Each structure stands twice: as C-alpha cells, then as structure tokens.
C-alpha cells in the first residue's frame, strides 16, 4: 500500500477514534467514579501544595482508599487539571489523549511485528472503535496509563534492534508501566524476561554504554520498587483481591454430607485440584469468545456492548490461527498473550477485563492481523479478472466502511445516550449536582451532616467543592483517621448515618440525605427545620434532599 | 443411518446434508440409479416433515433464522432509537437522525448472526457451574451446573481440532467438522452432536503429545499426568452426580422434588393444597412423583386450559391447585396447605427469615437458598397450614 494512502487511512482511524473518545466527555460516563475522583483530587492537591491528600510530598504511591494507588497517573493529570480545571473533562482528558496515541502506536507496533502496513491499519481501525478501548479512554484509570507505557516500552524495544540507544528508554517505559498498575507488576517482569530470552544474542551485541545505561535504569527503578513492595505499598491491592480466598471454597462443602471415608473424600475433592481448576477457569475465561464478543462485561461499564464488536470475531479467530501458525516469527506476541491473563486469573473475580488490558490489546492486534488476511484473500481471489477485482474490492471497501461507520455510531450512541439512561446508577450520580450547592449553603451553618450510604463519599465533596488542599492538609490528623482509614470528616463536613429522631435536636446544622432518612412530614412538624432544596438526579429521582436546622 | 438420525432428531439435518454430499461425491462414478436413490431418499426425509406447518414453525423458532430476521430485533432497534429522542444527542442534527447509521437492519442482522453463532462458544457454560462462574451475575445461563467439559480439556480440544485439519483425511475430515453444524444452526442446546468431535480431538491431542516425546520417561510422565487428570475429574464428577445432586440439578426440578417429597400421601389425598407455579408446572411433577394412575388423572383433572395454540395448562387435579397467589388476599379455609415463596405469604420483604407466622396459618416448613429470580419474593420456600383461632 502506498505510503500517503496509509497515512491518510491512519489519520481517518485516529480522527474517528478521537471523535468517539472526546464527544460529550464531561457528560458520559455521567459522573466521576471513586477512583477518578481520588486521582483527580490528589492531582489537584499535588499541583497546589506538592503533597497528596495524606500530606505525602510528591509521592510514588498514594494511600487513597488504603489501596495505595500509583501516583504516576496523577502526575499525568496535573497539566490537564491546571488547564481545564478540576472537573470531569480535566480528569479524563489525559486518558483520552493516551487512548488516541494508542491508535497510532498500535499501527507502528503491528507494522513492525508483521511487516504489513495493512495489518497495522486494520488494528488501528479496530482499536479506534472497540468498546473496551473507547471506555477506558473516556474514563481515567491507572490501567490505561500502564497500558500506554507498556506499548511504548515494547515499541521502543523493537526499534532498539536497529537504534540501540532506545533500549534504556524502552526499559524506563516498561518500568513506569510496572509502577503504574497492579497487573503490570507481574506482566512486566515476565515479559521482560521473555524479551531477553528471545533476544539475548542480539542484546549482548549492543554497545556496552547502552547496556550499562539500561542496567542503570533497571536497577534505579527496581530497587525502589522492591522497597515499596516490602513496605506494603506496591502490593497493597493484591492483599484484598487475591484468589487464595478460593482455597477450600468448594471442597469443604462437597466433602461433607456423604458416606465416603475421609481419605477417599479428600482424594476425590482434592483442594489443590479444585484450586488449580479455579485458577485455570479464570485464566480461560479471558479467552472465551462469549466473554469477549457477546456478553457485557461486569459492572455495566459498556452499556449494551461487549468488550469487542461482534463483527471482529471473524478477524480475531483468523488472526489467532495465523499467529499460532507463524509461531516462531510472532513468539513474543504469543508469549504476551499467554502471560497477560495471569494477574487477572490470580484474583478472585471470575472475569475482570480491567486487569487484563494487555491481553485485550493483543487481541486487537490479532484482529488486525486476521482482517488483513481476509482482505488479502478476497483481493487474491479476484486477481485474475480486472472487472471482478474492481467489483469485489469496491464491495469490500463499501462493506468495511459501512461496518466502521455503523459500529462507531452505535458506540457513540451507547456512550452518550444509553449509558446515562440505563447505567447512571453505577456512576455515583448526584455528587456533581449536589456538592457545589451544599458547599454554598454550608457557609451559613456550623456543620454539615452527610448521610453515607456508600463508603468514602468525602472524596467527591473534596473534588466537587474544590476544597482548598492547604486547608484540608491543615486539618488532617493521621492518628485520628486511623489505618485502615475510618474517619473521613473534614471542615464542617461530617460523614455518618442520619438518625432524625436524635439529630433533629442539633442546632445550626445542614443535613444531606434522602426521603427515607429525612422524611418530609417529620421535618415539617419540627420547629426550625425546613427542606432547603431537593436536587434531582439524571434519572429523574431525588439525588439529595437538603434540610436545614436553625 | 442418516435417515435414522433424522427420525431420531431432525436437528441433525445439516449433518445428514453433509453425509448426502459426501455420498454423492463417492457414488458419482457409479450408476445414476444410486445417485437418484440417495437424492430422493434424503430429500423425502428432509421435505416430508417440513410439510407440517407446526413442525416448521417450531424448527424456525429454534434456528438461527429466528434470530437474524427483523422481527427478532425490531423492538430493540426501535427502543434504542427512542432513547435518542428522550435524551439530547449530538447524533440528531437539525432533524436528521444520524443514529440511523447504527440502528438499521443490516447492522442488527450481522450483529445477531455472529452473536447467535457465538453462543455455542460459551466456555463458562460448557464447563460447569461448579468449575466456572458466569461472567456477570445477572446471567442465568448456568442453571444446569453439571460439568460437561473439564477445564483442562479445553487446550487439548483446541489443539486437537487444529491437528485434525492436517491429520484427518477427507471425507472423514469434512464429516468430523460437520458435527459442529447443528449447534451453529440451532444454538448451544445441540452441542451434544459435537461430542464425537470433542472426544476425538482430545484423544488426538493426547496421542500426539505422547508420540512426539523422544524419551520413554517423558512419555510415561505425560501419560500419567493425563491419566490422573482423567481419573480425578471423573471420580469427582461422579461423586457430585451421585451425592451432591442438589448442587447441579436445575432449580425448578430440585424445588418440585422437595415439595412432593415433603407432602405426605394423606395430606395430598385429604387436604386442599395450593402449590405455586413459580417453579415450572407442578402438575407434571405431581403426576410423576406420586405415580398417579393415568385413568385417575383423566377423571380428576377437569381444569385444563389451552394457554397458547397447542399448549395446555393443568390448573388443578382433584384437590390440588397450581397457581401463584397472594396468600394474604386469598380466600382461606381451615386445614388447607399452601406452598409458595415467602413473598407470596408475607409483605415483610427483606426480613422473611425472621417471620415465623402468617395470618390464619402456621409455617410448618421452610426451605432456604431458593433462587426465585425476584428479590421481593425472597429466597425461601414456605409450607403453610391454615389454622384459625377458635373464638
């Protein structure tokens, strides 16, 4: 394919992907989620004070909800928040940018791996409209940033075979990925080992200076990581999500209630066998076509879409067969495909795509390779006849154009219309609408009591009120909040259950709750109490009821 | 054999068609009489059943066609279009609705066709509810929890199928893969047809693994590993099958079994009993578990209604009534038995576990962990005997 046509098509893919990622970014998903809010406020806090919400000076890992998130995505977010402000757009914009860059990078990556521009373009077009890629670009998640560093690292590694000086940059990028997201803490070391194993002879021929600087980068970043691992920060999340809670989960029940002797019962329902089964079941679920192309993933994230578009299944299957057939040429890709689900399979969730974004990227590459094969096969079949070639290639281009536009519009509609209507409840609705109003009212009262049906709503109050970080840090008492954190109050804001029969006696207090804990009839009969305002949510129901008690 | 296969299950007709084709190739150098015999024979057995409109309608409903024709998705398409009218969308510009680019028949036909074919490849569903979980909790597709394929077999099956492409020669290869056609045309319920292919793929993979090893020790080790996997999986499944059937039996079968084993013969013959129909049709379970004499059944079952063309429903047999109910609004008499979900007796949603009495009755048995599919109805099956306080 001619270079200028390739560039033009790549630009179309990037523009298409940009539109899907950028249009209506502030409104869909309808509100920030917990993690986005936490990362956003910490970015705001660091940009204002140099410290995170716990007072840590330019941290590498931030404590957040005791899950010790990587702070690297936070630093990515700072410029965006400075430019666009502390709001949905400011928080999500860096993710959009990374998602768009990924469309271009995947072209280069597939082009380098397969030496086919058409395969690269197919992957780029696929990635630009894949529901998983659109979703993870429209929300800010550490996994997206980690994926970006991972792809850059791999691409730089491939390029370093000709331009050796790129090797340290590649390692740096890989290690940033390792720092950024939990799954990559396992995938990156494994993949680096594989890359070294497959390319050891070539790497050892690199100039010594480059090898030395690469080792320096590796040591310089791995040693602090080991320190963080021992301090419990780097692997804090693994403690609460690991698969080991499944140990004996099935077998205990099965061994009871029958007459077999215990030793036979233990042999038949063997703990290790069942545990391995639990692991491999999870591992294989990431390869199940129905999970990838048919079902909606957990948590209603994609509103009517599965991770991949159904039409991509044909390309996926063809691509996988080609990858397996070309085993020795694409061994790095095969290895990455095999190791990518391991971290996700080591957690108790059955299928959690966020933990296996690297695998989804490999599948996007496979889809590109498969689509390329299909296109080439059709063109090959009609090479004998000029008219047939014009007819078939015209038909094929029309079909592909229809599929691309149709599915792109479908995803756009799912994102902008269907998601806010059907799944706004999954996105902590109401905080964006209520907090600025409550913050405004709060000036006249001594305290604001906020009913807490969910954990940690404090972060939304910090974010949507743009609470001055300096002020927050002054009030911060690490001993009082405890570890794990139990206390979330700050300034006038108190987060607890409202019990009206007792709380109605409080003076100069603002209550934020709902119809159940602030019943209108009781409030009307209480002297000094009145409903200040009721804030409606996107779904048409009352998102918050604000009651004042003078 | 093809004819017998068709007679046994018409869903095998894609395989029979392939068989016919293979035979045709085979006999093309033979006499025209044979070709005519095979052609007419197969066509007769294909066309004859299709002359029955009820049968063709049934077949149509079961097949891929039912999912790809507009009537199966038209309402979804309209629903999604209507959302765009409700919510402000940039896809509608100056009266031009660009969402039509996505909500159109070619899009939905292509989408539904691929999705129908994909239902066959649900690895979670194929393995077992005990081994696998559903991707999303709202899926209710794991009702039949008994293992079908062991997880460790998946890589072997995939490897075996890839091997089969090169190792098995035609026409056997065509037939080998033709066994996948019924589930592709009629959905995952007909995966049973692929059993020989799956077994052979597995065997081919294991055989190849062992054969390619140069050392006897490796051959022995691999054989032993597979042997242990097979023995462990089989024994474990057998034990689940024989002793833990409550973990895999479909919900409604289990609950009906519990209902009819709880009621005594005396109660059934002497008392008026109302059984909820929220777990399938209780009448058939009653007839089966109580071994009711068919002539008695025909005499006592007066209340049979046709609910849709060709489908009848038994509402009562003798003093047994089968319907869902609201106990608290029903006409109650002393010494009746009512069997239903907690929510059919009480309005205490969310705290059914703490309820021990109901109006004019005593709960004499509760069965927990029932999957009712409706949170308001709770997860307990109650057996209530009406007791009226004597004034």
Q: Are residues B135 and A421, on separate chains, in Cβ contact within 8 Å? A: no
pLDDT at B202 over 80: yes
pLDDT score recorded for residue B281: 87
Size of interface A-B (CB pairs under 8 A): 146
Q: Which residues of A471-483 are buried (b: 16+ CB within 10 A; e: fewer)?
A: ebbeeeeeeebee
Q: Which residues pair with A479 in a beta bridge?
A: none
Does any domain span residue A167?
no
Which chain A residue shows the shortest CA-CA distance from B76?
A304
A378: left (phi over 0), alpha (psi -120 to 50) or beta: alpha
Does any domain span residue A471?
yes
What distance in Å separates the CA atoms of residue A222 and residue A227, rounded to the nearest whole number?
9
Global confidence as pTM: 0.84
Nearest CA of chain A to the CA of B87: how many Å? 6
Q: Which long-range contacts (CB under 8 A, 24 or more apart) does B330-336 make?
A: B330/B274, B332/B359, B332/B360, B332/B361, B332/B386, B333/B272, B333/B386, B334/B386, B334/B387, B334/B388, B335/B271, B335/B272, B335/B385, B335/B386, B336/B271, B336/B272, B336/B273, B336/B274, B336/B385, B336/B386
Nearest CA of chain A to the CA of B216: how many Å? 26
Find tokens 């080792």 and name the residue. Answer: A215
Which pLDDT band, with edges at 50, 70 and 90, does A100 fall under?
very high
Residues of A in contact with B126 (CB under 8 A): none
Does any domain span residue A5?
no
- With CA atoms as reference, report the closest residue to B110 among A29, A39, A399, A532: A399
pLDDT score recorded for residue B391: 43
Q: Are residues B139 and A277, on separate chains, in Cβ contact within 8 Å? A: no
Residues of B in contact with A313 (CB under 8 A): 114, 118
- For chain A, what is the domain count? 1
Give yes or no for a contact between A181 and A142, defined as CB atoms under 8 angstroms apart.
yes
Give tens-digit pLDDT for B32-75. Answer: 666 677 677 766 766 776 777 777 777 777 788 888 888 888 99
pLDDT score recorded for residue A210: 95
**A327–B contact, CB cutoff 8 A:** no
Which chain A residue shows the shortest CA-CA distance from B123?
A288
A372 vs B5, higher pLDDT: A372
Domain that holds residue A468: 429-547
Nearest CA of chain A to the CA of B154: how many Å? 8
pLDDT score recorded for residue B132: 52
Range with top average pLDDT, A188-197, B19-28, B341-350: A188-197
Does any domain span residue A244?
no
Which chain A residue shows the shortest CA-CA distance from B159?
A324
Q: Which residues of B360-372 are buried (b: 16+ CB within 10 A; e: fewer)?
A: bbebeebbeebeb
A236 vs B92, higher pLDDT: B92
pLDDT score recorded for residue B25: 61
Residues of A in contact with B243 (CB under 8 A): 257-258, 260
Residues of B in contact with A314 (CB under 8 A): 114
Give tens-digit pLDDT for A229-239. Answer: 877 776 766 76
pLDDT score recorded for residue B138: 39
Longest dimension (CA), chain A: 91
Residue in B91, B111, B115 closest to A412 by CB: B91
Residue to test with chain B: of A267, A304, A344, A409, most B Cβ within 10 A: A409
Give tens-digit pLDDT for B282-305. Answer: 999 999 999 988 888 888 777 888
Does any domain span residue A459?
yes
DSSP label at A292? I
Residues of A in contact with B240 (CB under 8 A): 254
What distance in Å separates the CA atoms of residue A269 and residue A263, rounded to the nearest whole number?
10
**A275–B contact, CB cutoff 8 A:** no
Find tokens 């340290």 and name the residue. Answer: A168
pLDDT score recorded for residue B137: 40
**A314–B contact, CB cutoff 8 A:** yes
Does any domain span residue A414?
no
- For residue B175, give both structure tokens: 């037939």
Q: 3-state DSSP call for residue B357? A: strand
DSSP label at A243? G
Which pLDDT band, with edges at 50, 70 and 90, does A163 fall under?
very high
pLDDT score recorded for residue B136: 44
In chain A, residues 404-423 whose CB comes closer than 8 Å to chain B = 405-407, 409-410, 412-413, 416-418, 420-421
Which pLDDT band, with edges at 50, 70 and 90, does B130 fall under?
low
Does any domain span residue A475?
yes
pLDDT score recorded for residue A455: 54
pLDDT score recorded for residue B121: 78
pLDDT at B26 over 80: no
- The contacts of residue A243 (CB under 8 Å, 6+ apart) are A278, A279, A282, A345, A346, A347, A348
Residue in B98, B115, B127 closest to A294 by CB: B115
Low-confidence winner among A147-151, B217-221, B296-300, B349-353 (lowest mean pLDDT): B349-353
Does any domain span residue A509?
yes
- For residue A112, give both structure tokens: 């380098």
Give tens-digit pLDDT for A398-413. Answer: 999 999 999 999 999 9
Residue in B118, B240, B247 closest to A289 by CB: B118
């Amino acid at each position: 394919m001619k270079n200028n046509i390739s560039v033009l098509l790549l630009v179309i893919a990037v523009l298409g992907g940009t539109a899907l990622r950028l249009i209506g970014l502030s409104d869909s998903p309808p509100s920030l989620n917990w993690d986005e809010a936490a990362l956003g406020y910490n970015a705001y806090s660091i940009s204002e004070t140099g410290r995170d919400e716990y007072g840590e000076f330019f941290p590498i890992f931030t404590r957040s909800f005791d899950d010790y998130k990587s702070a690297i995505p936070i630093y990515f977010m700072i410029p965006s928040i400075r430019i666009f402000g502390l709001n949905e757009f400011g928080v999500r914009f860096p993710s959009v940018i990374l998602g768009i860059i990924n469309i271009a990078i995947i072209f280069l990556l597939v082009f380098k791996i397969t030496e086919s521009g058409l395969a690269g373009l197919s992957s780029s077009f696929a990635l630009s409209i894949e529901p998983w890629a659109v979703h993870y670009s429209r929300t800010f998640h550490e996994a997206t940033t980690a994926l970006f560093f991972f792809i850059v690292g791999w691409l730089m590694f491939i390029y370093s075979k000709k331009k050796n000086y790129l090797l340290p940059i590649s390692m740096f990028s890989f290690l940033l990925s390792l720092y950024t997201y939990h799954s990559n803490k396992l995938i990156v070391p494994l993949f680096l080992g594989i890359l070294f194993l497959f390319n050891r002879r070539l790497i050892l021929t690199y100039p010594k200076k480059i090898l030395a600087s690469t080792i320096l980068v590796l040591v310089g970043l791995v040693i602090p990581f080991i320190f963080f691992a021992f301090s419990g920060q780097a692997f804090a999340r693994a403690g609460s999500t690991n698969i080991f809670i499944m140990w004996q989960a099935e077998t205990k029940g099965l061994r009871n209630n029958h007459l077999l002797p215990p030793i036979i019962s233990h042999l038949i329902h063997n703990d290790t066998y069942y545990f391995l089964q639990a692991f491999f079941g999870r591992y294989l679920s990431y390869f199940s076509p129905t999970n990838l192309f048919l079902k909606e993933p957990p948590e209603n994230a994609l509103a009517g879409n599965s991770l991949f578009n159904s039409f991509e299944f044909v390309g996926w299957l063809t691509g996988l067969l080609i990858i397996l057939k070309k085993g020795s040429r694409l061994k790095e890709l095969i290895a990455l495909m095999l190791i990518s689900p391991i971290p996700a399979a080591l957690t108790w969730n059955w299928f959690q795509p966020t933990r296996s974004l690297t695998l989804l990227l490999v599948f996007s590459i496979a889809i590109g390779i498969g689509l390329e094969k299909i296109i080439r096969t059709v063109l090959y079949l009609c090479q004998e006849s000029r008219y047939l070639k014009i007819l078939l290639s015209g038909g094929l281009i029309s079909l592909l154009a229809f599929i691309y536009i149709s599915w792109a519009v479908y995803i756009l509609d799912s994102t902008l219309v269907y998601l806010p209507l059907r799944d706004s409840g999954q996105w902590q609705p109401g905080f964006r609408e209520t907090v600025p109003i409550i913050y405004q009212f709060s000036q006249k009262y001594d305290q604001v009591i906020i009913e807490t049906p969910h954990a940690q709503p404090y972060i939304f109050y910090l974010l949507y009120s743009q609470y001055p970080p300096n002020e927050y840090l002054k009030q911060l008492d690490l001993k009082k909040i405890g570890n794990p954190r139990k206390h979330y109050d700050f300034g006038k804001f108190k987060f607890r259950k409202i019990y009206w029969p007792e709380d109605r006696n409080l003076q100069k207090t603002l209550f934020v709750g709902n119809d159940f804990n602030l019943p209108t009839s009781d409030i009307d009969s209480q002297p000094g109490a009145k409903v200040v305002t009721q804030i409606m949510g996107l779904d048409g129901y009352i998102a918050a009821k604000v009651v004042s008690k003078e | 054999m093809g004819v017998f296969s068709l007679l046994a299950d018409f869903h095998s007709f894609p395989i029979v068609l392939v068989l016919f084709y293979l035979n045709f190739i085979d006999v093309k150098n033979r006499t025209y009489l044979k070709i005519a015999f095979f052609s007419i024979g197969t066509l007769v057995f294909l066309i004859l059943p299709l002359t029955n409109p009820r049968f063709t309608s049934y077949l149509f409903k079961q097949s891929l066609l039912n999912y790809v024709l507009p009537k199966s998705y038209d309402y979804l398409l309209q629903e999604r279009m209507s959302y765009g009218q409700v919510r402000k969308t940039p896809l509608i510009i100056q009266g031009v609705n660009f969402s039509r680019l996505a909500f159109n028949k070619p899009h939905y036909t292509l989408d539904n066709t691929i999705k129908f074919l994909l239902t066959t490849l649900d690895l979670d569903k194929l393995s077992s509810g005990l081994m696998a979980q559903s991707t999303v909790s709202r899926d209710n597709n794991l009702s039949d929890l008994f293992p079908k394929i062991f997880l460790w077999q998946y890589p072997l099956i995939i490897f075996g199928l890839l091997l089969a492409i090169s190792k098995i020669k035609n026409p056997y290869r065509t037939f080998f893969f033709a066994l996948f056609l019924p589930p592709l045309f009629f959905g995952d319920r007909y995966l049973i047809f692929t059993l020989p292919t799956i077994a052979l793929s597995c065997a081919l993979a294991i055989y190849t693994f062992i054969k390619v090893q140069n050392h006897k020790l490796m051959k022995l080790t691999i054989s032993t590993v597979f042997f242990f996997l097979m023995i462990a999986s089989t024994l474990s499944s057998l034990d689940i099958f024989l002793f833990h059937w409550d973990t895999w039996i479909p919900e409604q079968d289990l609950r009906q079994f519990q209902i009819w084993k709880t009621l005594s013969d005396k109660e059934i013959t002497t008392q008026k009993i109302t059984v909820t129909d929220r777990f399938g049709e209780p009448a058939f379970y009653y007839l089966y578990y109580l071994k009711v004499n068919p002539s008695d059944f025909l005499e006592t079952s007066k209340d049979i209604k046709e609910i849709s063309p060709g489908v009848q429903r038994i509402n009562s047999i003798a003093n047994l009534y089968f319907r869902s109910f609201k106990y608290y609004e029903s006409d109650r008499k002393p010494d009746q038995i009512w069997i239903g979900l907690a929510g059919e007796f009480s309005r205490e949603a969310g705290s059914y576990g703490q309820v021990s009495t109901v109006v004019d009755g005593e709960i004499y048995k509760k069965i927990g962990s029932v999957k009712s599919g409706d949170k308001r109805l709770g997860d307990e099956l109650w057996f209530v005997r009406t007791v009226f306080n004597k004034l």
